[in-house]
């Protein structure tokens, strides 16, 4: 897939998700096979630009290009200014959010609420495209609700406005994330426009990715919740689409290395107070479905320092590497990525050698 001067290969995109797709997660997904990663949405309110949250969300230091930033809001002038601000901060692609279903976003007529006002959509797109020299893309849903599926109309407006790629999530705003995504509307959008169309919704593994491509004819896929705790899903999908064969998930050693590196990157990026808090949800996703994983999640949640979280994870990794089978299980979204030894489930009674983990007794054995 090509967006402006950029060749997006593989044609797999990390979805912009508030509270998830920060720089550490984007960088990790790129290393593990994503062709593009879009930032958390950055609000267009100029009064919020000099806040820690905005500084984090617009920090692209050492990030692999092309760098994509998503902006959100409802005022064409504010959004145009937000686009320029993000380009100044290093963005090489600007994505406009018209797909977020969250009440706090829709209540201010932003996100997917904009789909109800096609004239405003046209004004916003024209303002943003005219404000920057980089490619501008758009993310939408199929409509406001099932009686107002207007994605095809919005897509045509987008194409006429100079939007260079369009992502469609296969649900309406009213659906939020309930039920199954539908792909007929995405297929209709693809048939109606010549710009690249990216399909999004319920893509959780290699086979569902293939099915969505077949159903929609889309040029690319965007994966969001399917990457929670499984950032390697991008390389699995890319491999399957290229070869038709299934790539095994990480063995215990690679799993440990990926999770450890991600935790360290979170701590380095945010610092202790915020980093420790943000790390908790990611570890919870990583251990979902792994026997004994709940104990690690508890220890990570209890730890209030970087040292405490590192010690908890290092002890866990030592346990699983000391006796876990390296043969992975089947490629199942909810199954553990590998088989664990029985002693890993007794995590509370074990710790790794101190020289490897720097474990403090009060952090592990309380």
Determine contact, residues 43/78, Cβ cutoff 8 Å. Answer: no
3-state SS, one letter per residue, for the chain: CEECCEECCCCEEECCCCCCCCHHHHHHHHHCCCCEEEEEEEECCHHHCCCHHHHHHCCCCCCCCCCEEEEECCCHHHHHHHHHHHHHCCCCEEEEEECCCCHHHHCCCCHHHHHHCHHHHHHHHHHHHHHCCCCEEEEEECCCCCCCCCHHHHHHHHHHHCCCEEEEECCCCCCCCCCCCCCHHHHHHHHHCCCCEEEECCCCCHHHHHHHHHHHCCCEEEECHHHCCCCCHHHHHHHHHHHCCCCCCCCHHHHHHHHHHHHHHHHHHHCHHHHHHHHHHHHHHHCCCCCCHHHHHHHHHHCCCHHHHHHHHHHHHHHHHHHCCCCECCCCCCCCCECCCHHHHHHHHCCCCHHHHCCCHHHHCC
Over the range 90-101, which residues count as b (16 or more CB within 10 Å of their CB) and which as e?
ebbbbbbbbbbb
> Which of 29, 100, 106, 317 is labelled catalytic?
100
Q: How far, in Å, CA of 162 to CA of 141, rounded?
A: 19
Instruction: Please say if 100 is a catalytic residue.
Output: yes
CA distance 257 to 251: 10
Which sequence positions are flagged as catalytic?
A: 100
């Amino acid at each position: 897939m090509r967006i402006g001067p950029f060749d997006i290969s593989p044609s797999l995109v990390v979805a912009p998700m508030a509270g998830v797709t920060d720089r550490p997660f984007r960088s990790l997904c790129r290393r593990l096979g994503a062709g593009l990663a879009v930032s958390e949405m950055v609000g267009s309110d100029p009064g919020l630009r000099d806040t820690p949250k905005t500084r984090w969300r617009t920090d692209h230091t050492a990030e692999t290009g092309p760098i994509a930033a998503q902006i959100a809001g409802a005022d064409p002038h504010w959004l145009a200014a937000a686009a320029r601000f993000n380009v100044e901060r290093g963005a090489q692609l600007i994505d406009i959010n018209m797909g977020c279903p969250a009440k706090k976003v829709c209540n201010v007529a932003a996100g997917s609420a904009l789909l109800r006002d096609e004239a405003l959509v046209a004004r916003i797109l024209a303002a943003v495209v005219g404000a920057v020299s980089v490619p501008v893309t758009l993310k939408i849903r199929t409509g406001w609700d099932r009686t107002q599926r207007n994605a095809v109309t919005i897509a045509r407006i987008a194409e006429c406005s100079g939007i260079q790629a369009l992502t469609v999530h296969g649900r309406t705003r009213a659906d939020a994330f309930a039920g199954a995504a539908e792909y007929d509307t995405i297929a209709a959008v693809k048939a109606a426009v010549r710009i690249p169309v990216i399909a999004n919704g319920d893509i959780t593994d290699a086979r569902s990715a293939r099915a969505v491509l077949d159903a929609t004819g889309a040029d690319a896929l965007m994966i969001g919740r399917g990457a929670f705790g499984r950032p390697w899903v991008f390389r699995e999908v890319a491999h399957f689409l290229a070869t038709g064969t299934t790539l095994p998930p990480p063995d215990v050693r690679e799993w440990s290395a990926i999770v450890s590196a991600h935790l360290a990157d979170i701590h380095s990026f945010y610092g202790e107070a915020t980093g420790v808090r943000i790390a908790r949800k990611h570890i919870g996703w990583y251990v979902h479905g792994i026997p004994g994983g709940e104990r690690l999640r508890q220890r990570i949640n209890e730890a209030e320092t970087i040292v405490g979280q590192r010690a908890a994870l290092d002890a866990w990794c030592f346990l699983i590497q000391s006796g876990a089978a390296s043969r992975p299980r089947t490629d199942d979204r909810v199954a553990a990525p590998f088989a664990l030894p029985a002693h890993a489930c007794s995590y509370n009674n074990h710790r790794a050698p101190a020289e490897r983990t720097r474990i403090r007794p009060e952090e592990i054995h309380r």
